[in-house]
Structure 1
Amino acid sequence: MSVLQAAIYLRVSGRFQAGPDRFGLASQEHDARTYAARLGLQVARVYVDQITGVSSDRVQFQQLLQDAPAYSAVILGVQDRLARDVPLSYAMLGALQDAGLKVYSAGEGALDLEDDSSALGFGIRAVIADQERRRITKRMYGGMLAKVRSGRPARTINAFGWRDGQVDPEQAQWVRWIFERLESTGLTNVAYELAERGVLSPTGLPQWRRAQLVKMVHNPLYIGRYEFGRKGERVSTPVEAIVSEEQARRTQAMLRTRRKEQGRPGAKTAVLQLQGVVRCGECGRVVTTTPVRVRADGRQVAYYFCRATLRAEGATCDHRTYYRMDLLHDVAREGLQQLLSSPTLIQGAVEDLTLPEQQQRRVQADLERLDAQWERWKGALRIGAITPEELATERRRIDQARAALLVTPERPVIDVQAWRDRVGHAVASLPLNEALRAAGITVLVHTGGRVTFRIRA
């Protein structure tokens, strides 16, 4: 007679509790293995999540649910390792039972929502765990407030420009550069310049986001004021400043001015008339621009280029031509007039609903997961964990899921005359980029400067 297979599920609140010098995981696993031996179960695998007890985003727990057909039971070290939040505790236990698993806790025994006494005990312990979590959180928060009031940061400062609580000279010079540069250059261009210079973002990635720059400019930490606390009870303490308050005020004022001027004549969105509606016809990635420069004669000049050619983006596209702003605008306008004059061109430009390459890869990954599930179900049948009838049910479910993933939508048909009237009115009354956006048109720039259009029906 084969021994029934079981899994162990463990959780600690973070990676600092999971190190080799910590005993939380080892203790949980020892208790769970001892309990499994008493029940005559063989532990096949241990699943470990390093996450707080109130978060449902658990990779290993989801993997356990996928692998559930291979096991007869799952064992916890103690119930509150499942969760320290009452609704989440019930949801997770229910998910395990719905997957066909018996659930045990080495500390409390069987956990079964179908059994009245077991469900009552489970609920009481869940409430106690939740109350304890709230008390711990409140004590920690109060302690951090007191720490800041005494003149020390609540946590070690590791924002961009700091390292282990001290100002990092190398990053600090880039902080000052960012504040100064934003006085004369827009957020997007500063983000590109940082990436081109090889400066890693606060998240350690080569690409900078506009939101990261805005957050930095408005963070009081950079002018020497550390703040902590919830809204209405924030406290602060002085720290070493990286930029002056005057510099921060100038930069913030410039950002506010640019925000107010968006869309007005002379603003970037008015000058770069294809901004936000143009993509590379070769790789499908975003087409961006160089900074707008003003010549001696007052003429504004900039160039469009494929963002995927940047080193910071991996330089994955070979479409490296830079297209002068005014020339590309003229080509796009001429092409749009040709499009509006031809019903055949309009219907041919309607977006093909074939999945893009990235989404195709996701579908392929989902298909592979379904194949892996089927193999696990067959394995469960071989060890006697399920019946042939149950296997047939799962086969039908998996086949239905595969069929849904493989459905290819048909290209939509639009009312050409109504579309032409609507777009013609938009082109006549709106700036070019706003008209294209309102009409659902994307401009595709191909090698050599050829322009085509894609219509989202």
Structure 2
Amino acid sequence: MEITAAFYGRFSTDRQRETSIADQERVCDVRATAIGFRIVVRHTDEGVSGSTPVAARPGGKQLLADALAGRFEVLLVEGLDRLSRDMVEQERVIRRLEHRGIRIVGVLDGYDSDSSARKLHRGMRGLINEVYLDDLRAKTHRGLAGQVSRGMHAGGLSFGYRTVPVEGGNRLEVNQEQAGWVRWIFEKYANHGWSVQRIAHELNRLKVPALRGGTWSVSVVYGHPQRGSGILNNTLYIGKYIWNRSQWMKDPDTGKRVRIDRPVEEWITQDLPELQIVSDEAWERAKERMTRTRAQGGPGRAPITRTLMSGVLKCGVCGGPIIAWNKVMYGCSIRKDRGRAVCTGVSVNRDKVDDLVLGIVRDEILTPEAIDELEQEVRRLMSVQRRESVQAQADAQRKIEASQAEIDRLIDAIAQVGISPALASRLQAAESELAVLQAPSQERKQPELKMRSMANIVARYRTMLENLDEILATDLDRAKELLREILGQPVIEKDAEGHVWVTLDKEKASMLSHEADSTFGCGGRI
């Protein structure tokens, strides 16, 4: 009988020619032919780190999907490091695949799921692979530190500069065109009192290219004062270069890379006056205003409240998320952050949208099909409750009988050999245990499970839905997930006549009419 197999290949960077996909595929094809496997599935990931979770890679995700669907019996890889260089992730993936009955063969490292020493083998390979990553990380960091000590650029290009190749590496130099815009930003912020939002909007209106050709946002202009990010917080603009302020580490729970700030004593700081773009006076004025603004609750403060529909709705113009602009209005986050030059966007009254969308949700979960599903679930739960109650009574009765039997044995022992302190103590303890076991049993000898009528349950269900907004607000993250499951992702859009519509994925729509005072009121129905 022919055995079906899958090939999986991965490499991290374009420089890894010796482990290119073609080379990996070639050695796996040779092994498959020699053993008699037929490769029916091929998945690859190019330019993906071995520390990235398999399910977070495009090819890895497809591989796992094919495995769960039973499309192959054997997985061929060049080595276990192609699956993962993280011991925990490697073990998790291998166990998942082998639990599905899939044999894993590492062609070059000799791993084979059929081997009795497989756990020892993969444990050693996992340790070697993880140490390799740590060693590579340390060597890369040491090399970058050496470049910095020699006055070279170690990555992380800022707006206002460009790199020029020199002997031994790359150096920074001022990009005069961009430097003019840096000075313009500081001038508008420090001297003219412009908000960072207005600055970002104006840069986009003037079509000034951002560093990587995108558009300007509040975060690009303002950044983070403690991290030294953003135009207004970048010390390089006053000729002070700081390197090694932070590092990126993978969160073991989510698999995502998160930024970790390093201690100040690990920073490497250099004075490079030739790279100064902004005067010391302009820098200080900007910092003074920034301090005042943060004290007044401006940029840098976390949002005071979170709203139910923020992130659930999306803009019909640019596709960006709809957020709470203020206590009254929802609007496009892209328009708010980057300006009308990037997205003309829409805005709509929060209360009216909440009422409208929650009304749709209520109708959706009160359909005959939903009520029927509710009834089935209630009956299932009641059935489980009955079984558990019967089992609990049986367990309690067995414990009572066992305790009574122990008391009888102790009494027999006392009758034969006489009472002793040890026997008396044990008999007293056994009688106490029996009293505890019998007390609840006597209180409810035959517990009667009373199931409310289905009509009462549905009535209570409807009553709860009247306060749906309050119920959902108790766990916003979970509520947003449920809303997306029911609604998909509703779109807020405006038609040619100025009417604003909430359009659902399931071809449901409701109109909010455009009033004269530029707010939007609910003027239609589902």
TM-score range, shorter chain: 0.5 to 0.7
Equivalent residue letter for 1:140: T
| CA distance in structure 1 between the partners assigned to 2:240 and 2:50 by the alignment | 32
Query: Out of 196, 200, 204, which is 1:195 matched to?
Result: 204
Larger Rg, first or second structure (1 or 2): 2
Query: Out of 45, 48, 52, which is 2:49 matched to?
Result: 52
Q: 1:11-22 maps to which residues of 2 (within 5 A)?
A: 11-14=10-13, 16-17=14-15
Deviation at 1:61, TM superposition (A): 0.6
In the alignment of these two chains, the number of paired residues is 319
Partner residue of 1:227? Answer: 242
Q: 1:368-379 maps to which residues of 2 (within 5 A)?
A: none
Partner residue of 2:269? Answer: 236
Deviation at 1:445, TM superposition (A): 8.2
Tell me the secondary structure at the aligned position of residue 412 of structure 1.
helix
Partner residue of 1:389? Answer: none
Deviation at 1:98, TM superposition (A): 4.1
Q: 1:57-72 maps to which residues of 2 (within 5 A)?
A: 57-68=56-67, 69-72=70-73
- Structure 1 residue 170 corresponds to structure 2 residue 184: no
Change in 2 beyond 3 A, CA 1:37/1:249: farther
| CA distance in structure 1 between the partners assigned to 2:316 and 2:23 by the alignment | 56
Query: Out of 340, 353, 359, which is 1:352 matched to?
Result: 359
| CA distance in structure 1 between the partners assigned to 2:315 and 2:28 by the alignment | 57
Tell me the secondary structure at the aligned position of residue 352 of structure 1.
helix
| CA distance in structure 2 between the partners assigned to 1:36 and 1:87 by the alignment | 28
Q: Which has the higher contact order (CA 8 A, sep 6+)?
A: 1
Matched-pair contact (CA < 8 Å) for 1:353–1:410: no
Deviation at 1:349, TM superposition (A): 6.4
Equivalent residue letter for 2:238: I
Equivalent residue letter for 2:277: I
Per-residue CA distance 1:124-171 (angstroms, 9 max, x = gap): 11112212222222222222223222322223x522223334433333
Matched-pair contact (CA < 8 Å) for 2:21–2:44: no
Matched-pair contact (CA < 8 Å) for 2:186–2:286: yes
Aligned-residue CA RMSD (Å) = 4.2
Taking every aligned residue pair, what percent have the same amino acid on both sides? 24
Partner residue of 1:105? Answer: 106
Q: 1:56-455 maps to which residues of 2 (within 5 A)?
A: 56=53, 57-68=56-67, 69-112=70-113, 116-155=116-155, 157-164=156-163, 165-183=172-190, 184-202=193-211, 204-210=213-219, 212-214=221-223, 215-216=229-230, 217-229=232-244, 230-231=262-263, 232-239=265-272, 240-262=275-297, 285=322, 311-315=340-344, 351-352=358-359, 354=361, 412-414=465-467, 446-449=514-517, 450-452=519-521
| CA distance in structure 1 between the partners assigned to 2:117 and 2:94 by the alignment | 15
Tell me the secondary structure at the aligned position of residue 291 of structure 2.
helix
Matched-pair contact (CA < 8 Å) for 2:80–2:111: no
Equivalent residue letter for 2:52: S
Matched-pair contact (CA < 8 Å) for 2:185–2:199: yes
| CA distance in structure 1 between the partners assigned to 2:463 and 2:205 by the alignment | 42
Tell me the secondary structure at the aligned position of residue 6 of structure 2.
strand
| CA distance in structure 1 between the partners assigned to 2:465 and 2:173 by the alignment | 59
| CA distance in structure 1 between the partners assigned to 2:464 and 2:91 by the alignment | 45
Deviation at 1:412, TM superposition (A): 2.9
Deviation at 1:99, TM superposition (A): 4.8
| CA distance in structure 2 between the partners assigned to 1:8 and 1:86 by the alignment | 21
Partner residue of 1:6? Answer: 5
Change in 2 beyond 3 A, CA 1:124/1:174: same
Matched-pair contact (CA < 8 Å) for 1:201–1:208: no
Change in 2 beyond 3 A, CA 1:195/1:95: farther
| CA distance in structure 1 between the partners assigned to 2:145 and 2:93 by the alignment | 34
Q: What's the TM-score once normalised by structure 2's chain length?
A: 0.52
Deviation at 1:83, TM superposition (A): 1.7
Deviation at 1:212, TM superposition (A): 4.8
Tell me the secondary structure at the aligned position of residue 63 of structure 1.
helix
Deviation at 1:244, TM superposition (A): 2.5
| CA distance in structure 1 between the partners assigned to 2:463 and 2:150 by the alignment | 66
Matched-pair contact (CA < 8 Å) for 1:6–1:75: yes
Contiguous gaps of at least 5 residues in structure 2: 164-171, 224-228, 245-261, 304-309, 363-461, 470-511
Partner residue of 2:28? Answer: 32
| CA distance in structure 1 between the partners assigned to 2:46 and 2:128 by the alignment | 22
Matched-pair contact (CA < 8 Å) for 1:161–1:172: yes
Tell me the secondary structure at the aligned position of residue 359 of structure 2.
coil
Matched-pair contact (CA < 8 Å) for 2:74–2:105: yes
Deviation at 1:71, TM superposition (A): 2.1
Deviation at 1:235, TM superposition (A): 0.9
Equivalent residue letter for 1:26: A
